[in-house]
Amino acid sequence: MRMGHTFLAASSLQLQRLKPQFKQNLIGRAEARPSETLLRSMTLLRSLDQNVSWQELPTREVTARYVTGRPYSQSALRFASPKKNGVLALGIMSGTSADGIDVALVRISGRGARLENFAAIPFSAAVREAILRVGEGRAVTTGEISQLNFLLGKIFGEAALGALRKFRVSPGRVAVIGSHGQTVFHQGIAARLCGERVASTLQIGEPSVIAGVTGITTVGDFRPADMAAGGQGAPLVPFVDYLMYRHARIGRAALNIGGIANITAIPAGAGIEDVFAFDTGPGNMVMDALVRRFSDGRKTFDRGAEMARRGELLPGVLEFLLHDPFLRKTPPKTAGREQYGEKFVVAMMAHREARGARAEDLVRTATIFTALSILDAVHRFVAPRAKISELIVSGGGARNPLLMAQIAAGLRGVRLRDSGEFGVSGDAKEAFAFAVLGYQTLRRRAGNVPGATGAARAVVLGKVCYGG
């Protein structure tokens, strides 16, 4: 397997291979703000702001391997080929974009996990609007939240049964469902409440209802156990990233670009205690919000970067966005609609350069901002700690050619790979992960990565709701 040059500032020779504009961030000067490091040279922005063509990497059928055992023992974390038999688990995921439900069917044996099938079921417009209304913190009653919690549980359960019919698999053959739930609030860092400092999270889509609808034992509410151990409750997929992507000689990072973008760093030969991960900032969330706004809801995302390609960069707006304080926070850190939802988009559009600007210009600027926030996170927080030669990309953002071209332009010498090369497509990856995490919980085994969440220890995640 060919290895690319790393961007880690390990020697002056390596630094000479890099664009001068990136050197300051490579050295890890975390005190410098993105606007000072990334906007110092407009040459950098022009070099990234190109309609560079991006070709999807070829995919092939590869088994993603996973090993069970006692939490984090070395024998429990080896890769090995799965047997033909084993148990079936179903993973259900609805991300911050709230565009629909991903369902992954996974076969897990004593020493492996394999993606058997995958389906994506869109939300109705009414349900999506209800989710966004709660997630954006608009005026709702506790009754509406309670009702939506149970409604989503029913919808998730029906989606699971519909997917199983499509897969031609009887529900009685499925041992467990792992459902992440729909995040409507996440406060990973403690804030003041009634004189106390409290961190909290809320995912709705009642797992007891899922279990009742399907008759399948369901694990849900994964984040609180990690938070009770002092973590931020997210990201949780790094556990599966490690099992899928660890390599004895190649340092890798897994980048998922969903509504929020997050990255998992897996140094060469890493033990799970060496893995670290964090949210880098917005993924598709800001871009999607602009597209919905300017299309009056007729479009939900910028397919093929069609709008962004027709636009022009708004430098003043970009500089304003790069002052966002989340980008400078030291990991572990998590983000959501609280940081990059409607209020963020309204503030962006209120900028003097944005007033009267074309929709295409704003979407392009948001796309470039997303790419630069990812690049800044890599150079600021990953490069000083790990030598990375390959970046494995998943999530809806991986299909945005302009976004991917910008990321590729900023990571010269790092090989970009599609997660599908490893047996699990980018669309299915998070649902696949929660099938594995649900099974891990069913076997009373830990599923968090303290280096990703900041938890004091590894813990068993989630709550088990038994089916019929």
What's the pLDDT score for residue 175? Answer: 96
Which residue, 110, 213, 124, is CA-closest to 160?
213
- Region 248-254: mean pLDDT is 97
What's the pLDDT score for residue 233? Answer: 96
Q: What is the mean pLDDT of the chain?
A: 84
- Is 251 a residue whose pLDDT tops 60? yes
- Region 197-203: mean pLDDT is 95
* Residues 103-125: b if buried by 16+ CB within 10 A, e if exposed: bbbbbbbebbbbbbbbbbbebee
Place of tokens 């660890």: 246
**What gap in Å lies between CA 396 and CA 404, rounded to an integer?**
11
What's the pLDDT score for residue 183? Answer: 93
**What gap in Å lies between CA 238 and CA 243, rounded to an integer?**
9
- Is 161 a residue whose pLDDT tops 80? yes
Global pTM? 0.81
What does each C-alpha distance from 212 to 43, 209, 215 come to in angstroms? 58, 5, 5
CB-hemisphere CA count at 13 Å for 355?
4
- Is 162 a residue whose pLDDT tops 60? yes
| Phi and psi at residue 336, to the nearest 5° | -165, -155
- Is 396 a residue whose pLDDT tops 50? yes
- Is 464 a residue whose pLDDT tops 70? yes
- Region 93-113: mean pLDDT is 87
Q: What is the pLDDT of residues 255-291, one digit of tens each?
A: 999 999 999 999 999 999 999 999 999 999 999 999 9
Which pLDDT band holds residue 436 (cuts at 50, 70, 90)? Answer: very high
Which pLDDT band holds residue 34 (cuts at 50, 70, 90)? Answer: very low
Contact 430, 397 (CB under 8 A): no
Q: Residues, the chain, total?
A: 468
What's the pLDDT score for residue 76? Answer: 35
What's the pLDDT score for residue 41? Answer: 33
Q: What is the pLDDT of residues 294-339, one digit of tens each?
A: 999 899 899 999 999 999 999 999 999 999 999 999 999 999 888 9
Percentage of the chain beyond pLDDT 70 is 82
What's the pLDDT score for residue 98? Answer: 82
- Region 181-205: mean pLDDT is 94
Q: What is the pLDDT of residues 59-101, one digit of tens each?
A: 232 233 333 333 333 333 333 334 457 899 999 999 877 889 9
**What gap in Å lies between CA 54 and CA 401, rounded to an integer?**
5
DSSP 42: H
Q: How many CB atoms lie within 10 A of CB 291?
A: 24
